[in-house]
Structure 1
């Protein structure tokens, strides 16, 4: 296994080695994503005594699609097994509050590590590899501190440094690039069969957008909100900084072409449906813009 593959495995959630932290630490707001209100620090009623989810196989049907698209990037097992060395918040209640604070910071650090690891796999970003590796290794050292040290990390400072490098890496890979739609409001947009190769879609709102048959090869999708976006027949091979959580929030099928490092979501349609050839027609109805706290994460 290559170094980058091994590091990427460490940045994937392993719920069996966690204490259900994502089911306790954050707050839930009753919405299309969650069936109930839950304050921060209070366990979800579906959390079992063994830290497993009692409705894991039926989350979408039971009104919890937000749980299916959450990704801790491996921060949960890092907190459980390394930061707290297996001591859980139930058997040691005094650890609960500091553990939840540390988890919130660790998740952001692990997300940065995911993006930086992806950038180090980009050959065209070779001139930046030394700086990318330096920043990645520095953040990794921070994740190995104790609970107090982790919780005290100045995350915005590290995000700014990493994001500057990631932007430069994106520019190197995309060359002259495609259309610049960074932060664009494309909610419900009809983008069927649109050529978006090497486009900048960083932070774009693509909620409910029709991207059937779109060419997204080499597009920068950092933090793009793909909730409900239709990716059937779309080509995402070689897209930059796309995460599993973004795919899990979207719709697709067997005709959707994916980067080699990501898996096809289990809830996607298995049947292949024809992709429309026409690019005409009106845009889909625009859903309400999500609240600020529900936007896709951005490094």
Structure 2
């Protein structure tokens, strides 16, 4: 019996937007391309099952992924797209028993993931008090996006995701501006900046615009990132030990998973501290 999607009108993005591997047919372990690197020990083509994927669609080395060189797997988050595609779009029929559906199922996954990511951002925006003037528009955008996730595979594959993102992005920008306006004074604008390896220890980045910034391996120890906009920022190996990200706008679990932190790193309440910190 297909599971039903959570009600998106909740105080926080719900379980429907969090990966539930027990209700997924191991789609990320098959649909994605892997390239041998610091994140993966082997090359794997899209559509080829990972060698560690078991017959029950569980990972055979889940507890040892980092030890085995699969760091990228511990960072990836489908935003709940895997179970939506498995249980709703394809009605609980897995790609092993219905191999004719495999190619379409794997192709739908990245589309659904992008839609679920938008749902996460819109759901977060609806929890932010400064964005209250936008709640009506945000709810309309969330409802439209949710309806798209419930269309059939053919409709999803024909969806223009660039257009959907372009329709939602202005709302997210306005939300960010309203939230960051709570920080008095001039806020730093580092949108899309190349800050790879930059030394920013202890920096005051309250309310900063860091949308799409490259912060790979940057030193942000003890930095103040409260109410900063981090949507799309690349935080791979960013040192966030002791940093304060309380109220950071549009920060998602994949970014946190890719960074380095410790017990003193303060995170938004909707996110969880990675086990490897």
The answer, yes or no, to whether TM exceeds 0.5 is yes
> Displacement, 1:206?
0.7
Cα RMSD for the two superposed structures: 1.4
Tell me if structure 2 keeps the 8 A contact 1:178–1:196: yes
Q: Does 1:236 align with 2:242?
A: no
Q: 2:70 aligns with which of 45, 56, 64?
A: 64
> Displacement, 1:3?
3.8
Alignment of 1:178-257 (within 5 A): 178-257=187-266
- Report how many residues are paired: 268
How far apart are the structure 2 equivalents of 1:97 and 1:205? 33
> Displacement, 1:153?
1.2
How far apart are the structure 2 equivalents of 1:260 and 1:87? 35
How far apart are the structure 1 equivalents of 2:174 and 2:236? 27
Alignment of 1:77-156 (within 5 A): 77-156=83-162
1:24 is paired with a residue whose SS is helix
Deviations, residues 51-94 of structure 1 (Å, cap 9, x unaligned): 11111111111111111111100000001111111100001100
Distance 1:177 1:237, change over 3 A: farther
Paired residue for 2:52? 46
How far apart are the structure 2 equivalents of 1:125 and 1:60? 39
How far apart are the structure 2 equivalents of 1:20 and 1:48? 9
> Displacement, 1:6?
6.5
Runs of 4+ in 1 over 6 A off after TM superposition: none
1:254 is paired with a residue whose SS is coil
How far apart are the structure 2 equivalents of 1:73 and 1:146? 19
> Displacement, 1:146?
1.2
How far apart are the structure 1 equivalents of 2:49 and 2:249? 35
Q: How does the TM-score come out when normalised to structure 2?
A: 0.94
Q: Does 1:161 align with 2:161?
A: no
Task: Please list every run of 5 or more consecutive structure 1 residues that lacks an aligned counterpart in the other structure.
Answer: 269-299
> Displacement, 1:241?
0.3
Q: How does the TM-score come out when normalised to structure 1?
A: 0.87
> Displacement, 1:173?
1.0
Task: Please list every run of 5 or more consecutive structure 2 residues that lacks an aligned counterpart in the other structure.
Answer: 1-6
How far apart are the structure 2 equivalents of 1:232 and 1:86? 42
> Displacement, 1:8?
2.4
